Chain A
Amino acid sequence: MNRAQRGAAGSRGLGTMEVKSKFGAEFRRFSLERSKPGKFEEFYGLLQHVHKIPNVDVLVGYTDIHGDLLPINNDDNYHKAVSTANPLLRIFIQRKEDADYSAFGTDTMTRKKNVLSNVLRPDNHKKKPHIVISMPQDFRPVSSIIDVDILPETHRRVRLYKYGTDKPLGFYIRDGSSVRVTPHGLEKVPGIFISRLVPGGLAQSTGLLAVNDEVLEVNGIEVSGKSLDQVTDMMIANSRNLIITVRPANQRNNVVRNSRTSGSSGQSTESSLPSSTPNILGSLLQGEEESDEEDIIIEDSGEPQQIPKAAPTSESIESLSQIELLHEPTQNGFLPSSEMNLNHSAGSISMEYEVPEQGQKSLEEDGTIITL
């Protein structure tokens, strides 16, 4: 039945497209010529007209196919909105003065439900100075380099965000061998390498991964000693929030950091690996939290809903929030974050190592909840 409707809309959609616009509590419905959407300014005028708010400055947003609220503020994103609307273009209008910029961006539709993150990010509710262009929230992140501050310069930790099914992750891995510096001199050890990038795939489009990069960790778990199949399974199991630490084959594009002493670059990869382990927890916690909300339940053939978490005890919430707070930098990691993370002092880093473990321990003993 659903399909029939969609089909009908499709045939009609060749000519016109339905628009549902919301301002405050009011809805307006009108139609647009899909083939000739016109310019953004005309559309902006039209919206002001239909809502009868001719002199109010507003921000215009729409929900895209993934359910994210994205802004319309120029011709390009206006045309994008029109071309992807199917079958209906949902428009949300806010007054500029009381606009909530954080409403835009990834997971905006689901984030609202996440009480924890709202509590933990009080700044979400504050108004921010208005910059129309280059708001990070205006874009959906597809990848980011994270943990730059704690990884050796020769390594890169890349996070890939997988949305929907339109774009494949698009890479292959293979067995190989790499040379390591060990106490016994140079040693050849087996390793896992990226063997191929699918053209047009997510991995290729990020530009952060390349053929022959050595994979060192998958979501914080070291891959050494694991077989190709094991690593494949780990990556697929984490595919919704995949964090891979690689040693790029091309070491020329590495971020050069001043905060490190010159001795650090001389460190062998082995000595630096343990230091990166504690942070694993951070990445993982985050990853698990996200995927936790994703299972879906349909009760009595009703509407699909996300499965909530069973209410944790208050103690656990405390420890949870502790961790979350401490990891806020990485929580926001989808910002091109090298800048942000560079601001960290060494002191705060060491804190990061210890406290999460404590929090974790208390969880272990508590034994009532380990949903992380």
Chain B
Amino acid sequence: MRRFLRPGHDPVRERLKRDLFQFNKTVEHGFPHQPSALGYSPFLRLMAIGTRSGAIKLYGAPGVEFMGLHEENNTVMQIHFIPDQCQLVTLLDDNSLHLWSLKQHGGASELREEHRFTLKGPPGSPPSATQVTAVLPHSSREVLYLGTESGNIFVVELPSLRVLEDRTITPEAVLQRIPEDNCNRRSCELVEALQEHPKNPDQILIGYSRGLIVLWDLQNNKATQHFLGSQQLENLYWQRDGSKFISCHYDGSYTQWPVSSDNRQSEPLENTVPYGPFPCKAISKIYWQTTKNGLPYIIFQGGMPRASYGDRHSISVIHGSQQTAFDFTSRVIDFFIIFSSDPAAEFDDPSALVALAEEELVVIDLKSAGWPAVHPPYLASLHCSAITCSHHVSNIPLKLWERIISAGSKQNIHYSSMPWPIDGGTNIAPDPPQRDLLLTGHEDGTVRFWDASGVCLHLLYKLSTVRVFLTDADPNDNMNTLGEDEWPPLRKVGTFDPYSDDPRLGIQKIYLCKYSGYLAVAGTAGQVLVMELNDEDAEHVVDHAEADLLQDQEGYRWKGHEKLKTRDGPVRFEAGFQPFVLVQCQPPAVVTSLALHSEWRLVAFGTSHGFGLFDHQQKRLVFVKCTLHPSDQLALEGPLSRVKSLKKSLRQSFRRIRRSRVSSRKRRGAGGNASEVQEANAKFDQDALQEMELAPVQRKIEARSAEDSFTGFVRTLYFADTFLRDSSRHCPSLWAGTNGGTVYAFCLRVPPAERRMDEPVRAEQAKEIQLMHRAPVVGILVLDGRSTPLPEPLEVAHDLSKSPDMQGSHQLLVVSEEQFKVFTLPKVSSKLKLKLTALEGCRVRKVTVASFGSCKTDDYSENDLAVLTNLGDIQIISLPFLKLQIRYPCIRKEDVSGIASCVFTKYGQGFYLISPSEFERFSLSTKWLVEPRCIVDMPEVTSNNHVHNKSGPENAARKSRESGKGPDDCGEDERKSGRLMEHALLNDEKVLKEIQSTLEGGR
């Protein structure tokens, strides 16, 4: 309705709105979902990760990150940086090549797509003729060599991506100089590897799939030497001096070959099957790194004995007598070694191994004894156990921050102290204005504390609640029980472990009081833990209480899971948050709401059966209230258990699959398979679509009644010091809202501090409000006499907030999924309302009070409601008048888990999961914006020993072409920049706003 009335609104307010609100998706935190390719530039010291959805992300020093997105959303197969340039080439699974470059724009670098190109064969040739299998950016920076399935090697000019047809290396040309008897046409099918000679840029090594390796002279266009491998080839690697190279093979062997100009056909120097003698899996990539002490590092991926360790995802490092097979938790996508990039240096001297697995990034320090892992400052695997909830706390006091960091550092002693080796680029973003914590609860009963202040979401501390309970999951049951003399020498690395053995441990609600350091955590089996931060290890007994939420209900039968068994006697806890109280709800249904009042020392919790209040000072249950409707059989029996058991069986079958899964198949083999799968999927989708057309989806229109199930489900709990009974005296109160649209208010009597231990806390029900539209109550808030939300507990005591106005009359805001309603207090009469669903057909999913500051003046700020709807829109609604300020589409409405995972911060930012492992960060505020801003300078090319004879005139020609094209390019860049990252959030409102702002700027 308000939509019709909006014309004629206040221009002053409109201007103010522009100064206050602005929507931006700023940065993606966490680990890219389904990574598919890895690249590294030793020159820029930047790493690039490509994903199956066509995204490409560049990472350097902490805070330096870039993201690009291919329009096609196809899988990125390969990433290659152009040597000594701020450019890279990506190969997608649709066989298209894309040239990206990092360019400075407005003081910061930006990643942009410059050109795209698809190799075209002669008319009538099969698609395999041009299917690119290997890419070699030549050190001259002028050409790319593209090996194909047909065995042809095409030469493509940079940066125009034009094929230089006369320079194509055909199999026929290669075979000319090779004796007929050992070779035929078929040995030149499929180029598996292309490597440039490290010292002589005129020579490249060509490896064909069937084992033939040819050293090709680019100057004279002929093969100078050839090597006949007996096994199917996987990859090649040059030794630093160019005197030898190493090849690795499908049968799990690797071979060293000498290179000399006088010998046309060489015999291998050495052929090894590192994990023989039984059949082994392929070695798909190998590095040979020289060191000063003469012992090389041989680092390779795969090669495990097929029968007994064929399912392991491993990378082995051999250095003299030391040998370790790093055993990854998921498939290894690719890896690289960071070594001395100075061309003048005599040895490689490797310092770190960087491995990209499907679910995490692992970096191994090769310099320190024992090869410890390095703690990554970014790309954290948020999903090492599935995220079940999140909680954000803004503006953490320094003291608490330091204590959490110190507790976390004690957990990280097994990590290497090596500084992060990927350190390209410079972070020029301003320091984060405050310390923010993001807490994630996980399915395995852990809570992770993330530093969410800046661009790098960094793990500070990990808390486990498992120790309080007796579970089937034996903490010592890891796969790494191999002794010293075990062969192969496997060592488990990485933290990804999504297989929780007891889903009851899952964390559902978290509440942290940043002033007192009290933390309340609640879980799937009705467990509520109250914890305190302790800087030392301690052993103590956790006080245990049970809250029977069903009290006088009879004939009830809980069919869900059992409650968790607790450990008797004292339990040892490491430094950090240590539980001192455990309340278990009975029946042990999932805790659906939680509130902690650190000043009154009370914790309130609710489930689908009712809610309770616990005094954690006296360790006494104050009261419980059953909210069940007698007819609600579903809640009584616990239907969630059915959902859970389904989930459990799914988990088990996943585990079976995981056990039996044959590890990393051949890249190309997998590629072929993937297309089949895609086809099948497409067919399935089509079928499903047809089916849908046959039987259209229907929706029943029925009024909500009191008998609907889950009306008693407690959705929200809230503590407030307000006027509940009469307008002369305020008192502590507890408010609860249910799924059936009921709000309960309890008047609390908390004894004064000096008698806090002597007198019991009392509670008495004072009010019960039934919203007649019966929609679930998702938020309750009390506004003080100035219509400001009441401050958090202890906020006033710490001088961080004005004390609330207790003179004027207070108001109660009840937010249901459908409406916002303001009531007066203490006598409840309705004052204002905003009907969201009746007007727009959307429902409230998340709501928070956020403070918005003006970007123009420092002294203006206001509180508004930030609301996320089931359509994925974000709306800002003013307080206390409940007027819609602005609306932004944020999450796709089909992305139910994204919408469910959203958390708002107190200062108008927010996070939601875009995949199990990634948080998207967004900002609604013009003032509080955390986004990457970094610069990548071209380092000086120290010594250019790659002088290409032919390059002179061509180079000049290219330059002239480039400069001629300059202005056009620029316009194109402008257009493209908006598309980067923003493809999903481009929306009319934003465009309109941009146009508006440019118009104003013009004036």
Contacts and interface: CB of A to CB of B under 8 A. Distances in A.
Contacts of A299: 766-767, 828
Given A221-B839, A237-B838, A281-B1, A228 B699 contact: yes
A234 B823 contact: no
B818 interface: yes
A14 interface: no
B832 A371 contact: yes
Contact of A233 (B5, B705, B768, B841): B841
Given A229-B841, A240-B703, A307-B830, A295 B769 contact: yes
Interface string A221-244: 101001111111111111110000
Given A307-B769, A361-B8, A236 B701 contact: yes
A239 B704 contact: yes
A162 B703 contact: yes
Contacts of A221: 838-841
Interface in B792-845: 818-819, 821, 823-824, 828-833, 835, 837-843
Contacts of A367: 881
B838 A292 contact: no
A230 B769 contact: no
A219 B701 contact: no
Given A294-B772, A309-B829, A237 B871 contact: no
Contacts of A229: 699, 841, 870
Contacts of A88: none
Interface stretch (A4-12, A68-76, A134-142, A167-175): A167-175
A205 interface: no
Contact of B702 (A169, A277, A304, A308): A169
A361 B4 CA distance: 10
Contacts of A203: 701
Interface string B699-711: 1111111110000
Nearest to A198: B700
Contacts of B766: 299-300
Nearest to A300: B766
Contacts of B1: 220, 280-281, 284
A176 interface: yes
The contact size tier of chain B is 35 or more
Contacts, number: 158
A239 B829 contact: no
Contact of A310 (B706, B771, B773, B830): B830
Interface in A170-228: 170-176, 195-196, 203, 219-221, 223, 226-228
Contacts of B725: 300
Nearest to B766: A300
B830 A309 contact: yes
Pick from A169, A230, A231 the residue with the most CB of B within 10 Å.
A230
A233 B702 contact: no
Nearest to B707: A165
Contacts of A230: 840-842, 871
A229 B871 CA distance: 10
Interface in A263-315: 277, 280-281, 284, 288, 291-292, 294-301, 304, 307-310
A300 B744 CA distance: 11
Nearest to B699: A232
B27 to A, nearest CB: 30
Interface in B828-879: 828-833, 835, 837-843, 870-871
Given A174-B697, A230-B871, A300-B766, A237 B837 contact: yes
Interface in B1-53: 1, 4-5, 8-9
Contacts of B833: 292, 371
B104 interface: no
Contact of A292 (B5, B701, B702, B830): B830
A234 B818 CA distance: 9
A256 interface: no
B698 interface: yes
Given A168-B702, A234-B837, A296-B772, A228 B832 contact: no
B696 interface: yes
A176 B829 contact: no
Interface string A95-108: 00000000000000
A296 B823 CA distance: 12
Given A171-B701, A228-B699, A233-B837, A301 B830 contact: no
B668 to A, nearest CB: 42
Contact of A236 (B702, B769, B835, B871): B702
A173 B699 contact: yes
Contacts of A219: 838
B540 to A, nearest CB: 41
Contacts of B701: 169, 171-173, 203, 232, 235-236, 239
A179 B558 CA distance: 53
A201 to B, nearest CB: 9
A14 B909 CA distance: 66
B64 interface: no
Interface string A30-74: 000000000000000000000000000000000000000000000
B765 interface: yes
Nearest to B893: A227
Contact of A228 (B697, B828, B830, B831): B697
B987 interface: no
A223 B841 CA distance: 9
Contacts of A301: 765, 768
B775 interface: yes
Interface string B474-514: 00000000000000000000000000000000000000000
A369 interface: yes
B770 interface: yes
Contacts of B819: 237
A224 B871 CA distance: 16
A170 B828 CA distance: 34
A239 B702 contact: yes
Interface in B136-194: none
A280 to B, nearest CB: 8
A168 B706 CA distance: 14
Contacts of B838: 219, 221, 234, 237-238
Contacts of A307: 769, 823, 828-830
Pick from A169, A170, A226, A238 the residue with the most CB of B within 10 Å.
A238
B698 A195 contact: yes
A318 interface: no
A360 interface: yes
Contacts of B706: 165
Given A165-B705, A294-B772, A360-B5, A369 B842 contact: no
B772 to A, nearest CB: 4
A203 B702 CA distance: 11
A364 interface: yes
Contact of B696 (A175, A297, A361, A371): A175
A199 to B, nearest CB: 14
Pick from A203, A288, A370 the residue with the most CB of B within 10 Å.
A370
Pick from A220, A223, A230, A236 the residue with the most CB of B within 10 Å.
A236
A370 B700 CA distance: 32
Interface string A135-176: 000000000000000000000000000100100111111111
B881 A277 contact: no
B765 A304 contact: no
A370 B881 contact: yes
A232 B702 CA distance: 9
28 contacts: A162-B703, A165-B706, A169-B701, A173-B701, A196-B698, A221-B839, A227-B841, A230-B871, A231-B841, A233-B818, A236-B701, A237-B818, A237-B837, A284-B1, A292-B830, A295-B770, A295-B821, A296-B772, A297-B769, A299-B767, A300-B765, A300-B767, A307-B829, A310-B824, A360-B5, A361-B5, A370-B881, A371-B833
Given A234-B839, A237-B837, A310-B830, 12 more contacts: A172-B701, A174-B697, A175-B697, A195-B698, A239-B704, A281-B4, A292-B833, A296-B769, A298-B769, A299-B766, A300-B766, A310-B831
